[in-house]
Each structure stands twice: as C-alpha cells, then as structure tokens.
C-alpha cells in the first residue's frame, strides 16, 4: 500500500511503478509526511521479535531484500533491492510473511518466477531465510 501511495504522490492518478526506479521506504514515509523508525542495517536484518513488537503497536512495516549489485533471476524466492510489506510474524514457528507490492510472489509464476503455488504476492520465510536474504526494516510512527 505504501508503494502505491508513493506512486500516486509522485505521479498522480494513474501512476505507474516504472516511475520508481530506486529508493527506500524512508523516502516514501518522508514524502507522505510520516515519521518512521529504522531497524537493522544494510547488512543485517532485525530479529523477528523486534518486527513483531512494531506490528503489535499497529505500525506498518516494510523490509528491504538484500541490497546487491547483483541481479535477480526468475526462480529466486525474493527480488534483490526490493521492498516488501510485513504482513505477520509467527514467533512460535519462527516465520515472517511478507507481501510483494507487485502482487506476485517473485516475478510472476507465468513468467517463470518462483511461486509458493498461489502467486498472490504473499511469501513466508523462515527466520534463517529472512536473516540471510533481507536487510533493513522501517516502521511508520503515527
């Protein structure tokens, strides 16, 4: 939702995602007049408990997949240099569910992209996968 709002803020209606060639959630939060907190670093993701605490406060969360000079390939479970919304954290099973704002799991199953079967943009990662494949996180402060 944040990415969509940012597109409309930058380009009006109808905006398009191609106009967003780079950036981080902090840019969108700033443009929309929202304060935010940052967790983790560009080389280290925050732990699931930290993210769960922010969600429990009712704060919108976004995370960035690994910042990389490398490219993304169809078949990868996540898209590098891409921002996902945090849907939920399951501390018992040590998983995090994210949503790709493009609305597909990782590039679209019909195009050869990875999919968990539904190709709906919702992807669940184990805590180990999340720590290995994601970096910073942002939460909106209202």
Domain 36-141 has CATH 1.20.1250.20: no
Task: Report yes or no on whether pTM surpasses 0.85.
Answer: no
Q: Report the DSSP beta bridge partners of residue 122.
A: 99
- Over residues 46-63, the pLDDT tens digits come to 999 999 999 999 999 999
Query: Measured between alpha carbons, how far is 54 from 98 in angstroms, rounded to an integer?
Result: 15
Give the tokens for residue 80: 């590098």
Q: Are 125 and 96 in contact (CB under 8 A)?
A: yes
- Over residues 6-39, the pLDDT tens digits come to 665 565 566 555 555 556 778 778 877 889 999 9
């Amino acid at each position: 939702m944040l990415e969509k709002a940012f597109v409309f803020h930058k380009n009006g209606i109808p905006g398009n995602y191609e106009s967003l060639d780079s950036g981080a959630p902090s840019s969108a939060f700033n443009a929309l007049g929202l304060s935010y907190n940052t967790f983790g670093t560009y080389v280290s993701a925050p732990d699931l408990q930290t993210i769960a605490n922010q969600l429990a406060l009712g704060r919108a969360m976004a995370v960035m997949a690994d910042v990389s000079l490398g490219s993304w390939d169809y078949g990868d479970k996540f898209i590098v240099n891409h921002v996902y919304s945090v849907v939920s954290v399951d501390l018992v099973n040590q998983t995090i569910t994210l949503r790709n704002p493009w609305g597909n799991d990782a590039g679209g199953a019909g195009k050869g992209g990875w999919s968990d079967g539904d190709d709906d943009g919702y992807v669940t990662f184990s805590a180990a996968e999340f720590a290995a494949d994601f970096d910073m996180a942002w939460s909106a402060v209202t």
